[in-house]
Amino acid sequence: MRAALSGLALVLAFALALGCETEEPEVVPPADPVDHGEAPDPGTDPLGARIHAIGLERLQRYTPGEAVHRGELRRGQALAHPEVLLGTHCYVVVGVASEGLEELSLSILDPGGAPILQSPTRGEEVTIGLRDALCPIEPGIYKIRARAYRGEGDYAIRVYSQQAL
């Protein structure tokens, strides 16, 4: 065993003595942060302002969708919002609830209506796509379903996208 290690050390020393060059791996800089636009006024649009703040904090390199889906839910009620998702992008869905809606949950339904992903937690702020990738293979009209598990009140949902590599 010592002979094998000594032989390996000798080969390494010889390679270094010859001046073997190793290429440095290319470092790809991260993409620049995306402009998320002007923040909504918290006084007139508190849910929109919260979603905007979450996007700036956690999704700097994702492009915010134009639409903010909104609704009102009571305990046990669910509403679905259609959203076109492309097969060339990955997505993060952010949902926020008003103070009275204590447990909001989100799920994504494929174009056929089958659930494919659900928010890992319930609460006043929920996401899909941060922990488990939401990168559809097929483009289509998907649905984002919001469900109230506890409480009642308003909610808002925004989809953020990034070109898949």
pLDDT of residue 34: 84
Residue 52's pLDDT is: 96
Asked if 157 contacts 101 with a C-beta cutoff of 8 angstroms, the reply is no
Strand 89-97 to 153-163 pairing: antiparallel
46-163: which CATH number, 3.30.300.10, 2.60.120.380, 3.40.367.20, 1.10.3720.10? 2.60.120.380
Residues contacting residue 26 through CB under 8 Å, at least 6 positions apart: none
In this predicted model, what pLDDT tens digit does every residue of 23-43 receive, in sequence order? 555 554 556 788 888 889 999
Q: DSSP letter at 136?
A: -
| Per-residue pLDDT at 131 | 85
Instruction: Write the CB contacts of 154 (distance below 8 Å, at least 6 apart in sequence).
Output: 47, 70, 71, 72, 97, 98, 101
pLDDT value for 50: 97
Check residue 16 and give its pLDDT. 47
Cβ-count burial of 160 within 10 angstroms (0-12 exposed, 13-18 middle, 19+ buried)? Answer: buried
Per-residue pLDDT in tens (0 to 9) along the chain, 165 residues = 555 445 545 544 544 455 545 555 555 455 678 888 888 999 999 999 999 999 999 999 999 999 999 999 999 999 999 999 999 999 999 999 999 999 999 999 999 999 999 999 999 999 999 888 899 999 999 999 999 999 999 999 999 999 887
Half-sphere exposure of 113 (CA within 13 A, CB side): 0
Domain coordinates in residue numbering, the chain: 46-163
pLDDT of residue 79: 98
Q: How many residues does the chain have?
A: 165
